[in-house]
Amino acid sequence: MPTTHSVCPLDCPDRCSLDVTVEAGKVTAIAGSRVNPITDGFICDKVRHFTERQYGADRLLHPMRRSGPRGSGQFERITWDEALDTIAVRMREARKVHGGEAILPFNYGGSNGMLTQGGTDEWLWRSIGASRLARTVCAAPTGEACRALYGRMASHDFPDFEQARFILIWGANPKHSNIHLMPYLKAARAAGAKIALVDPRLTMSAQYVDMHLPVYPGSDAAVALAMIGHLDRSGRVDRGFLNAHATGSDRLLSRAREWTLERAAARARVKASDIAAIAEAYAAAQPALLRCGWGLERNRNAESSVAAVLALPAVAGKFGVPGGGYALAASPAYDVDDDRLAGKPEAPTRSINMNRLGRALVEETRPPIDVLFVYNCNPVVTIPDQNRVRRGLMRDDLFTVVFEQVMTDSALYADILLPATTFLEHTELSNSYGTYAVMLGAPAVAPAGEARSNEEVFAALAERLGVAEGMPRGEALLRRALASIGGPMGGDGGRKEDALERLRRDKILRFDFPGERPVQFVTTFPTTADGKVHLWPEALGDDPYVVLPDPGDADPRHPLALISPATNKTISSSLAEYGFREAVLEMHPDDARSRRLADGALVRVHNDLGEVVVPLRINREVRPGVVFLPKGLWNRHTRNGAVSTAVSPDHVTAVSGGACFNDARVEVQSA
Ligand SMILES: Nc1nc2c(c(=O)[nH]1)N[C@H]1C(S)=C(S)[C@@H](COP(=O)(O)OP(=O)(O)OC[C@H]3O[C@@H](n4cnc5c(=O)[nH]c(N)nc54)[C@H](O)[C@@H]3O)O[C@H]1N2
Ligand SMILES: Nc1nc2c(c(=O)[nH]1)N[C@H]1C(S)=C(S)[C@@H](COP(=O)(O)OP(=O)(O)OC[C@H]3O[C@@H](n4cnc5c(=O)[nH]c(N)nc54)[C@H](O)[C@@H]3O)O[C@H]1N2
Ligand code: SF4
Ligand SMILES: [Mo]
């Protein structure tokens, strides 16, 4: 059967290359290919079954207008012209009455491609002076902390994990969120590497994990500082490295000395000896690799936690060898020029933090938000404080557009609903945030129904609003997107032309590192102003290593920490329409016993913000004092039509305004 080359554009670090089989104009199979060597011919179940989205009952096939109350999901079919004209009229009106800032574009990770995000959409928003969106729901604190310490230094690529003799996995769950790392972890283990996991849950079996530190959520800064303090007291700090390559180490070390093992152990609710054991094993091994995930950033203490964790490889002298240093997002190294991609510079309009959507819709008055345009995002289930978001969307005078592939919980609130193509139906240029490659995907089939691509829809709106002149489209947009990538792929415009030809021929463009992959402090270095690691980074404020008290300390009625990390069933909330049947809450047996809750019992997970009703699963792999609901549920997956964001506070991290999902403190009772 003939296959088409494609690329998975979902918000996943692996960025698989795909072979798509088409029969009689329909996609019949999706499999991993070897174009991206990391994919190695296998993909996750979710995307293997993507035809369930493509041809499923939830797929949106034509534009619609709301015909019942907000949120009711009652719509009537209209034409594209009616839909686009209505939107254009409402936008023009909003601009006339309150100015461009009365329009709020709302988008995030639904499509990680460069043609569906940041190009024609940004051109439109910038041209009409819309409010800007601070895209902070994920990775903002981690990115901020990493940049503050190391600038845009490239991170380790997956294959080098094999060379490590000790791998410290901190707040990441590769078994679910980064499955193509697993073969390299396995190979490292086979070659004798030890693996330690710092996570409130035991996410991997003994086949992978030698040491597990089940920290209480939000306590990572204390633990990492205590490790640094312990290395210092026991003479394991690499002074030579620090003197040559770092600034601020004295201040960091003196701060770390305040965090004795015992003090950190009390904050993290773990054993002091376990913190010491991991620090010692890490210091002793060479090469040792730190894999920092995104689980530790989803609380108020985020920037300090990530900074303290990322300081470890500098303090312990782990750089300078393949398989040593840290592995985090690859994205900083791409150094994408957003202005070039958008085709025009950003205007300094009002910025709205996406994590406070509910508040913005209700409380912003100068000007109020008159038009909300949601695309590549499902805020009703993915943004903190679900009930507040819903109240905001119910505002009588709000005009909401949702541009979606399927009938999500957010789509239900649309005044105008627009059907979007999937990656099987449009051209896409995808850069990976896990590894160093760019790939091009061509449409495998014609759009379902009347679905249109983001590029088409934003261009059509720009035309109606009179701002389309000069907007790059098609091939020109593709070239511009490619040219906006800097870093080790960068070069002059002329070279980029060759790059597109090469990309078409080879289906993949790899980064031009000296050597096949980046090796930190050998072929890739900090890009801070002085080229050094900033261990007391001013960018993180007066005190980069503040350890905040646990939010539960002030809330004794809600003693359990609720975390809601990624699972293998969805990508954020994408594909949940077929990925999930019903969600369960996972709880440690001790917590279930003290609450007289039996396995399978229906429970209420609640706090002052809201509640979620689901069956209970008792599971020793979650530490005591912590409960776990999956990220990305839809309302239909719980008994009361609410998801974990219903109990997530919408306060944000101090430096970068990041989301604090894991600051949810709850009580659980029989329902
Ligand atoms: N299958 C699948 N893959 C995905 C995604 C998905 O939804 N599904 N999502 C994608 C996206 S958008 C992202 S951002 C990444 C996220 O991928 P990861 O980096 O793996 O992040 P999380 O899944 O949020 O959390 C990782 C781990 O951190 C733990 N954790 C929670 N709180 C804390 C804490 O305070 N401290 C520490 N040390 N650990 C904590 C959780 O128990 C979890 O096991 O994955 C991407 N890949
Ligand atoms: N409880 C809890 N919630 C979380 C988190 C958590 O830890 N706990 N973490 C969060 C994280 S890490 C992230 S990244 C966010 C992600 O949250 P969102 O940005 O809301 O991502 P998705 O849930 O994947 O929703 C993306 C939507 O975009 C649509 N889409 C895909 N491609 C296209 C396209 O080409 N055009 C258009 N118009 N639409 C498209 C998809 O159908 C999908 O419904 O969620 C956060 N939510
Ligand atoms: S979601 Fe991740 S693992 Fe699954 S196909 Fe896409 S890139 Fe690969
Ligand atoms: Mo994310």
Q: 158: pLDDT confidence band, cut at 50, 70 and 90?
A: very high
Looking only at the bridges linking them, the beta strands covering 437-441 and 428-431 are: antiparallel
Residue closest via CA to ligand 2's atom 18 equals 377
Q: Is the distance from the beta carbon of residue 18 to the nearest atom of ligand 3 less than 6 Å?
A: no
Query: Ligand 3 centroid vs 419 CA: distance in angstroms?
Result: 23
495 Cβ neighbours under 8 A, 6+ residues apart:
none
Please write the tens of the pLDDT for every residue from 217-263. Answer: 999 999 999 999 999 999 999 999 999 999 999 999 999 999 999 99
Query: Ligand 2 centroid vs 577 CA: distance in angstroms?
Result: 13
Concatenated DSSP letters of 308-341 = HHHHHHHHTT--SSTT-EEE--SHHHH---HHHH
- Distance between CA atoms of residues 140 and 659, nearest Å: 8
Span 628-636, mean pLDDT? 98
Please write the tens of the pLDDT for every residue from 135-156. Answer: 999 999 999 999 999 999 999 9
Residue closest via CA to ligand 2's atom 11 equals 138
Q: Is the pLDDT of residue 446 over 80?
A: yes
Retrieve residue 250's tokens. Answer: 């004295």
Percent of the chain with pLDDT over 70: 99
- Identify the residue with better confidence: 330 or 131: 131
Q: Is the pLDDT of residue 497 over 60?
A: no
Substitution candidate for ligand 2 out of 377, 425, 614 with most atoms within 8 A of CB: 377
Query: Ligand 1 centroid vs 459 CA: distance in angstroms?
Result: 35
| Residue 460: HSE in the Cβ half-sphere, 13 Å Cα cutoff | 15
Please name which of 634, 656, 658 lies closest in space to residue 645, comparing C-alpha atoms. Answer: 634
Q: Does a cis peptide bond (omega within 30 degrees of 0) precede residue 141?
A: no
pLDDT at 490: 62
| Residue type (1 letter), 400 | T
> String of b and e for 654-664 (b: at least 16 CB within 10 Å)?
bbbbbbbbbbb
- Distance between CA atoms of residues 484 and 486, nearest Å: 6
From the number of C-beta atoms within 10 Å of its C-beta (0-12, 13-18, 19+), residue 581 rates as: exposed
Q: Which of 261-270, 480-489, 493-502, 507-516 has the lowest mean pLDDT?
A: 493-502
pLDDT at 493: 42
User: Angle at the Cα of 644 (from 571 to 646), degrees rounded to 5?
Assistant: 130
- Domains of the chain from N-terminus onward: 3-54 (2.20.25), 64-130+350-409+420-510 (3.40.50.740), 156-328+519-540 (3.40.228.10), 551-670 (2.40.40.20)
Retrieve residue 529's tokens. Answer: 């102003």
- Which ligand is closest to the CA of 17, given by its number? 3
Whether 68 contacts 417, CB under 8 Å? no
* Residue 670 DSSP one-character state: E
Q: Is the distance from the beta carbon of residue 179 to the nearest atom of ligand 3 less than 6 Å?
A: yes
Please name which of 612, 563, 566, 553 lies closest in space to residue 588, comparing C-alpha atoms. Answer: 563
**What pTM was computed for the model?**
0.98
Q: 599: pLDDT confidence band, cut at 50, 70 and 90?
A: very high
Strand intervals (E) in 450-579: 508-510, 533-534, 560-563
Residue closest via CA to ligand 2's atom 39 equals 376
Q: 213: pLDDT confidence band, cut at 50, 70 and 90?
A: very high
Q: With helix as H, strand as E and coil as C, how does 59-71 read?
A: ECCCCEEECCCCC
- Distance between CA atoms of residues 562 and 635, nearest Å: 18
pLDDT at 494: 46
- Distance between CA atoms of residues 273 and 573, nearest Å: 39
Residues in the chain: 671
User: What residues line ligand 1, using a CB cutoff of 6 Å?
Assistant: 11-12, 109, 138, 170-173, 176-177, 198-201, 203, 215, 217-218, 220, 293-296, 299, 563, 565-568, 570-572, 631-632, 662
pLDDT at 492: 43
507 Cβ neighbours under 8 A, 6+ residues apart:
5, 17, 35, 439, 440
Q: Is the pLDDT of residue 284 over 70?
A: yes
User: Dihedrals φ, ψ of 118, to 5°?
Assistant: 90, -5
pLDDT at 515: 83
> String of b and e for 360-390 (b: at least 16 CB within 10 Å)?
bbbebeebbbbbbbbbbbbbbbbbbbbebbb
- Which ligand is closest to the CA of 32, given by its number? 3
User: What residues line ligand 2, using a CB cutoff of 6 Å?
Assistant: 11, 108-111, 116, 137-138, 298, 375-378, 382, 403-406, 408, 420, 454, 564-565, 571-574, 631-632, 644-645, 648, 661
Query: Ligand 2 centroid vs 94 CA: distance in angstroms?
Result: 27
Substitution candidate for ligand 1 out of 15, 135, 177, 223 with most atoms within 8 A of CB: 177
Q: Is the pLDDT of residue 159 over 80?
A: yes
H or E segment to which residue 77 belongs: strand 75-77
Q: 495: pLDDT confidence band, cut at 50, 70 and 90?
A: low
Q: Is the distance from the beta carbon of residue 437 to the nearest atom of ligand 3 less than 6 Å?
A: no
Whether 294 contacts 171, CB under 8 Å? yes
Substitution candidate for ligand 2 out of 58, 405, 580, 626 with most atoms within 8 A of CB: 405
Helix crossing, 493-506 with 474-483: angle to 10°?
A: 110
Query: Ligand 2 centroid vs 411 CA: distance in angstroms?
Result: 13
pLDDT at 489: 72
Span 428-438, mean pLDDT? 92
Retrieve residue 613's tokens. Answer: 């009703």
* Residue 181 DSSP one-character state: G
Handedness of CA 259, 263, 265, 269 (dihedral sign): negative
User: Dihedrals φ, ψ of 512, to 5°?
Assistant: -90, 60
User: Dihedrals φ, ψ of 536, to 5°?
Assistant: -125, 70
Residue closest via CA to ligand 3's atom 3 equals 44
Average pLDDT of every residue of the chain = 96
Q: 487: pLDDT confidence band, cut at 50, 70 and 90?
A: confident
Task: Compute how many other C-beta atoms are within 10 angstroms of the C-beta atom of residue 507.
Answer: 18
Q: Bridge-partner residues for 281, per DSSP?
A: none
| Residue type (1 letter), 380 | V
Please write the tens of the pLDDT for every residue from 542-596. Answer: 999 999 999 999 999 999 999 999 999 999 999 999 989 999 999 999 999 999 9
pLDDT at 610: 98
Query: Ligand 4 centroid vs 11 CA: distance in angstroms?
Result: 7
Q: Is the distance from the beta carbon of residue 571 to the nearest atom of ligand 3 less than 6 Å?
A: yes
Query: Ligand 3 centroid vs 377 CA: distance in angstroms?
Result: 18
- Which ligand is closest to the CA of 174, given by its number? 1
Whether 43 contacts 31, CB under 8 Å? yes
pLDDT at 562: 98
Please name which of 485, 510, 547 lies closest in space to residue 266, comparing C-alpha atoms. Answer: 547
Strand intervals (E) in 383-501: 399-404, 416-419, 428-431, 437-441
Q: Is the distance from the beta carbon of residue 16 to the nearest atom of ligand 3 less than 6 Å?
A: yes
- Distance between CA atoms of residues 363 and 131, nearest Å: 15
516 Cβ neighbours under 8 A, 6+ residues apart:
none
